[in-house]
Chains A and B, each alone.
Chain A
Amino acid sequence: MKLNDTERAILAGELGTVPKLALEHQIQVGDFFGAHDFVEVTQAHIMADTESLGEAGVRWLESLAGADDGRAQVRVPTITDPRGTDFAHAGKLGQAAWMLALERRAIEAFVRLGVSMTDTCINYQTIQAPVRGESVAFGDTGVVIYANSVCGARSNFEGGPSALSAGLTGRTPRYGFHLDAQRQATLRVRVDWTPSSLNDWGALGGVIGRLAGNYWAVPVVEGLEGAPGSDALKHFGAAMASFGSSALYHLAGITPEAYRIRDVGGDRLPVAHRVGRAEVEALQRAYAVDDEVDVVVFSAPQLSLYELRALAALCDGRRFVRPMLAVTSPQVKPDADRMGYTRRIEAAGGQVLTGMCFYQSYAREIAQANGWKRLATNSAKLVNILGGYGYVPMLASMQRCVEAAQTGRLA
């Protein structure tokens, strides 16, 4: 890779051991993908729950925090994805003391490195959304696909070590979705039905993600009516990224790079797939394998204030017989408390958790601790993930999930 003066100085160790290690890692990745040089980034976002890091990852973080006499600091604003717990509710979740101890060690190391513990996967709704053309280094696939597609920013999937490296060096290898050519559409999809509920938006994203099939495919979708809201595109993109490993889509006439379909080369592509209500319902039916429900979860991505408002309204006047968990960000939770949404959800027997995400919080272990197997959610992303953790996940609307928490059955 071609290095500028700053990068050569970092590589020579002139700025310390930690940035040097970070840049060496980035050069390995850049070489793998044939990157010619680096691009400067304005912010980084790190996925770093300790179920993923394990003891090995936490020890590596601690080694970085302790190197260079503890002086190493990130060079650009660097924030975090959800943690592996909500410390205030860890006991109720059945999480073990060692999990919390590992989380505390990771947090301490991040803080020493200058990382801001935002603990959110909806930073584009709560912290600072990037703008069109802005190069960033984001982790969490849902964050990346939203930033690329809805904001028109530029990021690849940056796993934890790479996102932290980008924070420490202020740059990332220029390949993939940092390049104009890679952002052109490769797959044209015609939709003849526009969802209204969040689970339907998620399922539509899942269907298109499966059709796209891999990271490098860029679907351009035409035929949607109206302008979907931020929460709809949050679920749509998160599910597409989960089912298809997709990092960028275009919605003709809606997202910023596809004001006209020809702006992303979509006019030169044949319509490869037509997707309608039948395909969206078929995906959801595939998960409808049981009537009984052990737990209801709203998470993945964390809920916005508007989602919590809607959930609170559905909870009014009910009494749950099954655990109902709603997960949000530390930025949204205080507002939900102030607006009374938390109180209304808890009055029905639900819990509002913060700073974590369900699947990133030792999902297998808390299932065993609580006897949870059959799980209802309105998140298409969550149902796609949890099968591997031993759950039987079922996808339904927010209203049907709330009714399931009340009756124990998903009608």
Chain B
Amino acid sequence: MEFTARHAIGRKVVGQARVASDGFSARYDLDRIGGTFSRPSHKLAGQSYVGKVLVLDTSKGGVATAWMLREMAERGVVPLALVFNSVNPILAQGAAFGGVTMLAGFDGDITTQVPDGARVEIDPGTRTLRVLAAPADVTRPA
């Protein structure tokens, strides 16, 4: 499966997708020290975001994420990439400032098309998200 985005920034990465039909704000939703989603009402509450490709609906709330992604990246407590149906300027600015890979804007709801736990490739050069392996294949012992 391959999906093409309208907006892209960053370098090519491969990692495990963490998918939810919910929003994203580094200030509102994350425990940036522990590396988990901390907002109790978030659909990924309690789960780690570190090193994951987060596939979510849209950016939420305020402007702090523009600073926070870089700070999180320097401490190694950062998502591998961000994928959204739509983003506000803050996420684009934050991704540019923090060097975080991001795709946004798809035909259809991307959170219903990428399986949670799948291994995916994000290529900003071609503006594509490619599903490399289904969740079962990712978790199966080699």
A residues engaging B (CB < 8 A)? 25, 28-29, 32-33, 47-49, 52-57, 60, 139-141, 156-162, 175-176, 213-216, 241-242, 245, 247, 359-360, 384-385, 387-390
Whether A159 and B93, one on each chain, are in contact in the complex, defined by CB atoms closer than 8 angstroms, is: yes
Q: Which of A161, A215, A385, A389 contacts B67 (CB 8 A)?
A: A161
Whether B92 and A56, one on each chain, are in contact in the complex, defined by CB atoms closer than 8 angstroms, is: no
Whether A245 and B60, one on each chain, are in contact in the complex, defined by CB atoms closer than 8 angstroms, is: yes
Given contacts A159-B90, A216-B86, A388-B38, 15 further A-B contacts (CB under 8 A): A29-B89, A29-B92, A29-B96, A33-B7, A48-B67, A49-B64, A52-B68, A141-B61, A141-B63, A157-B88, A158-B63, A159-B93, A159-B94, A162-B93, A385-B62
Q: C-beta contact mask, B35-69 vs A, less than 8 Å → 1, else 0?
A: 00011111000000000000000111111111110
Given contacts A55-B71, A388-B29, contact A214 B64 (CB under 8 A): no
When distances are taken between beta carbons in the complex, the residues of chain B under 8 Å from A47 are 62-64, 66-67
Of all chain A residues, the one with the shortest Cβ separation from B37 is A388
Given contacts A25-B97, A159-B94, A214-B88, contact A139 B28 (CB under 8 A): no
Q: How far is the CA of A21 from the CA of B90 in the complex (A)?
A: 18
Of all chain B residues, the one with the shortest Cβ separation from A59 is B74
Q: How far is the CA of A389 from the CA of B28 in the complex (A)?
A: 8
Given contacts A60-B70, A214-B86, contact A161 B93 (CB under 8 A): yes
Whether A213 and B58, one on each chain, are in contact in the complex, defined by CB atoms closer than 8 angstroms, is: yes
When distances are taken between beta carbons in the complex, the residues of chain B under 8 Å from A140 are 62-63
Whether B88 and A160, one on each chain, are in contact in the complex, defined by CB atoms closer than 8 angstroms, is: no
Whether A160 and B67, one on each chain, are in contact in the complex, defined by CB atoms closer than 8 angstroms, is: yes
Q: Which of A32, A53, A247 contacts B92 (CB 8 A)?
A: A32
Whether B63 and A160, one on each chain, are in contact in the complex, defined by CB atoms closer than 8 angstroms, is: yes
Given contacts A32-B9, A385-B28, A388-B30, contact A52 B64 (CB under 8 A): yes
When distances are taken between beta carbons in the complex, the residues of chain B under 8 Å from A390 are 38
Of all chain B residues, the one with the shortest Cβ separation from A139 is B63
Of all chain B residues, the one with the shortest Cβ separation from A386 is B28
Q: Does B130 contact A (CB under 8 A)?
A: no
Summarize A's interface: helix, strand, loop or mixed. Answer: helix
Whether A54 and B60, one on each chain, are in contact in the complex, defined by CB atoms closer than 8 angstroms, is: no
Whether B90 and A57, one on each chain, are in contact in the complex, defined by CB atoms closer than 8 angstroms, is: no
Given contacts A25-B97, A388-B29, contact A33 B89 (CB under 8 A): yes
Q: Does B12 contact A (CB under 8 A)?
A: no
A-B contact pairs, 24 of them (CB 8 A): A33-B92, A47-B63, A48-B67, A54-B71, A56-B70, A56-B74, A57-B67, A140-B62, A140-B63, A156-B89, A157-B63, A157-B88, A157-B89, A160-B66, A161-B93, A162-B97, A176-B89, A215-B59, A215-B86, A242-B62, A245-B23, A387-B41, A388-B38, A390-B38
Most buried by A among B42, B87, B90: B90
Whether A384 and B89, one on each chain, are in contact in the complex, defined by CB atoms closer than 8 angstroms, is: no
Whether A141 and B97, one on each chain, are in contact in the complex, defined by CB atoms closer than 8 angstroms, is: no
B89 → A minimal CB distance (Å): 5
A397 → B minimal CB distance (Å): 24
Of all chain A residues, the one with the shortest Cβ separation from B65 is A159
Q: How far is the CA of A359 from the CA of B64 in the complex (A)?
A: 11
Whether B74 and A157, one on each chain, are in contact in the complex, defined by CB atoms closer than 8 angstroms, is: no
When distances are taken between beta carbons in the complex, the residues of chain B under 8 Å from A29 are 89, 92-93, 96
Of all chain A residues, the one with the shortest Cβ separation from B60 is A245
Of all chain B residues, the one with the shortest Cβ separation from A387 is B39
Q: How far is the CA of A410 from the CA of B66 in the complex (A)?
A: 36
Whether A385 and B27, one on each chain, are in contact in the complex, defined by CB atoms closer than 8 angstroms, is: yes
B94 → A minimal CB distance (Å): 6
Whether B89 and A158, one on each chain, are in contact in the complex, defined by CB atoms closer than 8 angstroms, is: yes
When distances are taken between beta carbons in the complex, the residues of chain A under 8 Å from B65 are 159
Q: Which of A33, A49, A384 contacts B28 (CB 8 A)?
A: A384
B141 → A minimal CB distance (Å): 36
Whether A159 and B66, one on each chain, are in contact in the complex, defined by CB atoms closer than 8 angstroms, is: yes
When distances are taken between beta carbons in the complex, the residues of chain A under 8 Å from B27 are 52, 359, 385, 388
Q: How far is the CA of A120 from the CA of B26 in the complex (A)?
A: 22
When distances are taken between beta carbons in the complex, the residues of chain A under 8 Å from B64 are 47, 49, 52, 159, 360
Given contacts A159-B67, A161-B67, A245-B59, contact A55 B74 (CB under 8 A): yes
When distances are taken between beta carbons in the complex, the residues of chain A under 8 Å from B88 are 157, 214-216, 245, 247
